[in-house]
Amino acid sequence: MNIAIVEDNRQDARLLASFLKNYQQKHTAELHITWYSSGEAFLAAGSLESFHLVFMDIYMDQIDGIETARSLIRQNMDALVVFLTTSSEDIWRAVKVHGCFDYVEKNALDNGRMTEILDDAWKKLRLQAKLLEFYSGKQKIRLPLSKILYLTARDKYTSIALAQGEELCYRTTFSSLCSMLKNEAHFLLCNRGVLVNMDFIIQTDREIFVMENGQRFPIRKSDRLEIIQTFHDYQFEKLNKQET
């Protein structure tokens, strides 16, 4: 895993690096750590797409951590960002940043907390590595499963909405893509021609699912209770995994 530390306080950067090295020794994990003393230095370094995980201090001179993270995410949608701060009051600013993976107060960071962060990051990165691969005409399409909000049937085409706000249309059948995703636990067929990623459902009642981008989908009447139960079971299992 390639890790960047963006921190203008040398002592804090060294402490963070020591937690990372302790994890590396205990878990025999391959970690490559690079320290940047400012947001400007980090963004100017180039090759941002090579980083899997970024520890970002919020309070820095000139470009602060929030703006630095936004610039990073525009260039590398797959980077996981962990914000660091001395104040819990900044959490509302951090969680609004698309790509915010975690948030840590510096005085609460220790070897145990670092283990939680890195264990979760490994799980997330393994999920991101999964791809939906298919042909649209003669073009081979590869889409990360973790970025797909939902798929909808459009006659001989399939529309796919992505987390970064794009909605793309491909000349391939909806049924063929559903078949490819049938063993992926986080995808749910909620109605005819609608396959949703349950990680992006933000609200549900007895009749609809509301997605992260505001799209609303009616839940199929014939087995509505079973569909809703599947969603609740998935959320419960996901919560349990996060707590263990």
pLDDT in tens, 86-98: 877 767 766 666 6
Domain 2-128 is found in CATH 1.10.260.40? no
Beta strand 100-105 pairing with 131-136: unpaired
pLDDT band for 29, please (50, 70, 90 cuts).
confident
Q: Report the run of H or E that residue 101 belongs to, with start and end.
A: strand 100-105
Q: Domain spanning 131-243 has what CATH number? A: 2.40.50.1020
φ/ψ region of 134 (left if φ > 0, alpha if ψ in -120 to 50, else beta) reads beta
Distances (CA, A) of 86 to 49, 79, 101: 28, 23, 18
- Spatial separation of the C-alpha atoms in residues 50 and 180, rounded to whole Å: 29
Residue 6 has pLDDT above 80, yes or no: yes
Strand partners, 169: 159
Q: Tell me what pLDDT residue 74 has.
A: 76
Q: Are 149 and 194 in contact (CB under 8 A)?
A: no
Q: Are 169 and 139 in contact (CB under 8 A)?
A: no
pLDDT in tens, 119-159: 888 888 876 678 898 999 888 888 888 889 999 999 889 99
Domain ranges of the chain: 2-128, 131-243
Q: Are 132 and 147 in contact (CB under 8 A)?
A: no
pTM: 0.55
Q: Tell me what pLDDT residue 241 has.
A: 62
Q: In 170-221, which ranges are continuous DSSP H helix?
A: 174-181
Tokens representing 70 are 């936004």
Q: Tell me what pLDDT residue 123 has.
A: 82
Beta carbons within 8 Å of 225's beta carbon, 6+ residues apart:
none
Q: Tell me what pLDDT residue 117 has.
A: 92
